[in-house]
Amino acid sequence: MLALFLKTGLVLTLIFIQPGRIFAQAAAPMPVAVSILPQRYFVEKIGGQLVQVEVMVPPGAEMEAYEPKPAQMSALSRAKIYFALGVQFETVWLSKMVSANPKIIVIHTEKDIKKRTLEAHAHLGEVLNPDRGRAGAHEEASDPHIWLSPPLVILQARAIFEALAATDPADRAVYETNYRQFVSELVELDLYLFRIFGTSSKPREFLVFHPAWGYFADAYGLKQVPVQVEGREPKARELDEFIKGARELGAKVIFIEPQYSPKTAQTIAEALGGRLAEADDLAPDWEKNLRRVAEQIKSAVSSER
């Protein structure tokens, strides 16, 4: 029997030939791993059929507290590349995952991105009273949510493309074509978001339960105002202060992620005579979700006095 490799489109096919019979077997896609669902969207945009992506944090899980299942660690042992993002999940688990697969290549897609400061609950008072200063504010922490800003995703896409092309140089042309197309889509999305939010003399505030939308807000002339205080639920006094400040803003909508309990946010919404709206920072269909959330934020800030 004679075996030949034949490249057809995006797939490398193994051809077995023997007298009177031909068998074709497609080569397996390259196994890679990512931390969260939006990253799978990015990697598949560039890798297409040439990659198989394992996502470590599944839908509905709280990223900060998630522990990978044994089946995920097993899948990770076969991965060629791990695309890291700089999220808290990786702080705890990345070294353990590398121990499970010492040959895996870890690519830090956040390496060229300057992190912003993560807002604390006290930020609302500074929005309303900018001369009050930072007295009493909690220690500042960097914001990991870089996947929610299209301009920053362009930087992440470059890191993904370079890693795939370096690991699989035979298919570099395919990765590059896909990468250029993806960047074109990101530029188009960025322009769309600029158009719907327009320009304003000062940032327009919107309420969020968890402060995930800071990079998005920075890119499009907005400012998120979070309910959470350094990642925890507000105490009674803090909650009263937040409601008072939100009333002064005229805010009626609180954006909440499905990974968190809506109880506290619902209490605030009822006190404001407002409502909750879902803004999932981990939705798998990244572009569609970003457009949907943007339209909801636009409606929320337009209705404020």
Answer yes or no: is 7 within a domain. Answer: no
CA distances from 199 to 43, 126, 150, 296 (A): 32, 22, 18, 17
Same domain, 203 and 70: no
Same domain, 213 and 69: no
Same domain, 133 and 240: yes
Answer yes or no: is 1 within a domain. Answer: no
Q: Which of 132, 167, 187 is the last residue of a domain?
A: 187
Same domain, 135 and 267: yes
Domain containing 106 equals 30-115+145-187
> How confident is the chain (305 residues) per 10-residue block, as mean pLDDT?
48 51 65 97 98 93 86 92 95 92 96 87 48 44 94 98 98 98 98 90 90 96 89 87 92 93 94 96 96 96 75
CATH number at residue 251: 3.40.50.1980
Report the pLDDT value the prediction gives residue 97, as an integer from 0 to 100: 92
Angle between helices 172-197 and 286-303 (to 10 degrees): 10
Same domain, 149 and 137: no
Answer yes or no: is 24 within a domain. Answer: no
Domains identified in the chain, total number: 2
Report the pLDDT value the prediction gives residue 9, as an integer from 0 to 100: 47
pTM of the predicted protein model:
0.85
Same domain, 82 and 220: no
Same domain, 297 and 172: no
Same domain, 170 and 246: no
